[in-house]
Structure 1
């Protein structure tokens, strides 16, 4: 049985390698033509030091404290030349992918379905060819999608779980936007080129309470995360707040509620900012965050939305001196229309 090791580089690129039983991560990476930082490879210099974000592993005792202190090990730092995984793991590598002689992966997919949701968003479903390997990614990550004929790309988070041949994306409609314009004339069977995965916004391990804050199409990565948790039979206490500007911006709520049926400890609150709305909850996401969940200090907060929402939540936590167990966020900015050439 091989274990999958996700290597997250500081330039946002993620590469996945298979690690054989008893194999050290550094050796597995080299076998996959990824040159992780190293010098001695004997647990002496500390050059190969990375951070283990999740997973189980054995470090053995064949390294000296100058290379990895007890305090560093307690903080999740590892020596990849000594680390032998006993489960899938995620590692944060403190250098760029280019420095490790690797880079982004590119793959092709075919449009399977395009489903508009009023003027708010579009669900784009792509399928991998029968001969292609489904791309590996961490739930919450994104890819760049080349927009045919534009010479540019747009970035979108996966809304589906890793390992599926069908890849889902929730795309905000933007008047005259490059992707929105292409989607208006696209049809099943069209080919797209994708590059990735990328991003440091992804679901970490843990069993503490989880507060998910989604703004608009920032719901997409949470659909991926919640699907993974549902398949794992997670018993974590999870609260999702899904905030939008208008009633029409609430999309895929049925899918969220279907996930809630599979996750017995998942509660969901939808919030509409428009004061004229007759929605049960109006205002801002910060007005509806559960105080008892925040006060306990053991909650992991994940936040994905437009910059004003992200900044407002960060300010709220600072103003109220709330220190969650962990706080992960991602901002997204609507892509401007492509300017015509002179």
Structure 2
């Protein structure tokens, strides 16, 4: 019997994955997995179980009334989980917290496989997961406990979902808790991880995609690009990778490899430092392709430090740019949490 993977993304950033059997309603599958999604009547009458389907295909049937879910709501992606029967893998945004649904974050253990420094700018950390490959959405992150510190740090997956070996691109911070630990880390050491987390993730590619990466904010896009390369899409994908210094441009060879695999993908690198000899200097907002922005028929994904995110948002507002959708994530290198929208 066929089954589908359903990602339940709660408003506190926690994501839980469940298997939904062919013909089974999402609400029933969630209860079977001991996740108490909001509900009251379970008959398509009250609308209490209303959520938003971010991606995937499904059938809502005819057993609900307009008061519970109006036609325009259904057309916009709202669903009643008590009536929704998936016919593919789906992502569902649940408008309440994971705690309210009596579930929580998942924890798993991984083993250090490789620690590779890139100049003085970043570190690539590769881990082998001790149990089954973790499920996550491309673009999401985990919290990694720093051994002996009592602290954790948040890092986006740079690898694709479904792999036992997972990767991260970590900014090298002088005196940083994780940077100090990684400087001495050896293969075979164990790390505790919590996740996946975050509402910054790749949706269905139904229109051209503009990716804006700042520094190690490149990481989630590497995960997204690998998924897009494997699944295939005819949509145009353009990535702008902005950094402060020449030495901050890392993993450009990975982007070149994607460009070789995907004829519809290209990228631009930009360096802000005036003393740089890079052919493109300045900020990402100075190098965005006008032909993509003019009519707003595109989806924009942005991941970078807060000043970059704020600058792009201001640029869009001041220039009347209104993308079909705009997803962004701010990160602060020393912080344990992220802000996404």
Query: What's 1:195 paired with?
Result: 194
Are the counterparts in 2 of residues 305 and 330 from structure 1 also a CA contact under 8 Å?
yes
Structure 1 residue 56 and structure 2 residue 27: aligned?
A: no
Give the match's secondary structure for 2:100.
helix
Are the counterparts in 1 of residues 205 and 233 from structure 2 also a CA contact under 8 Å?
no
Query: What's 1:241 paired with?
Result: 240
Query: What's 1:334 paired with?
Result: 333
CA RMSD of the aligned region, Å?
0.9
Are the counterparts in 2 of residues 235 and 264 from structure 1 also a CA contact under 8 Å?
no
Length-normalised TM-score, structure 2: 0.97
Query: What's 2:208 paired with?
Result: 209
Report the Cα distance in structure 1 between the residues aligned to 2:216 and 2:296, rounded to whole angstroms: 28
* Aligned pairs (5 A) from 1:62-211: 62-129=63-130, 132-211=131-210
Length-normalised TM-score, structure 1: 0.97
Give the match's secondary structure for 1:194.
strand
- Give CA-to-partner distance per residue, 1:141-163, whole Å, 9 cap, x none: 00000000000100000000000
Report the Cα distance in structure 1 between the residues aligned to 2:128 and 2:79, rounded to whole angstroms: 37
Are the counterparts in 2 of residues 122 and 171 from structure 1 also a CA contact under 8 Å?
yes
Are the counterparts in 1 of residues 292 and 298 from structure 2 also a CA contact under 8 Å?
yes
Q: Aligned-pair distance for 1:336?
A: 6.5
Are the counterparts in 1 of residues 9 and 91 from structure 2 also a CA contact under 8 Å?
yes
Q: Aligned-pair distance for 1:260?
A: 1.0
- Give CA-to-partner distance per residue, 1:184-209, whole Å, 9 cap, x none: 01110000000000000000003211
**Compared CA separation, residues 143 and 336, structure 1 to 2 (3 A):** closer
Query: What's 2:37 paired with?
Result: 36
Are the counterparts in 2 of residues 177 and 336 from structure 1 also a CA contact under 8 Å?
no
- Give CA-to-partner distance per residue, 1:317-336, whole Å, 9 cap, x none: 00001100100000001206
Query: What's 2:23 paired with?
Result: 22
Query: What's 2:224 paired with?
Result: 225
Query: What's 1:290 paired with?
Result: 289
Are the counterparts in 2 of residues 53 and 76 from structure 1 also a CA contact under 8 Å?
yes
**Compared CA separation, residues 325 and 94, structure 1 to 2 (3 A):** same
Runs of 5+ in structure 1 lacking a partner? 338-342
Runs of 5+ in structure 2 lacking a partner? 337-341
Report the Cα distance in structure 1 between the residues aligned to 2:272 and 2:316, rounded to whole angstroms: 20
Give the match's secondary structure for 2:139.
coil
Give the match's secondary structure for 1:149.
coil
Give the match's secondary structure for 1:98.
coil
Report the Cα distance in structure 2 between the residues aligned to 1:79 and 1:334, rounded to whole angstroms: 39
Report the Cα distance in structure 2 between the residues aligned to 1:326 and 1:106, rounded to whole angstroms: 31
Report the Cα distance in structure 2 between the residues aligned to 1:237 and 1:108, rounded to whole angstroms: 37
- Give CA-to-partner distance per residue, 1:5-48, whole Å, 9 cap, x none: 00000000000000000000000000111000001101111110
Q: Aligned-pair distance for 1:85?
A: 0.1
Query: What's 2:299 paired with?
Result: 300
Give the match's secondary structure for 1:170.
strand
Report the Cα distance in structure 2 between the residues aligned to 1:234 and 1:257, rounded to whole angstroms: 18
Are the counterparts in 1 of residues 126 and 165 from structure 2 also a CA contact under 8 Å?
yes
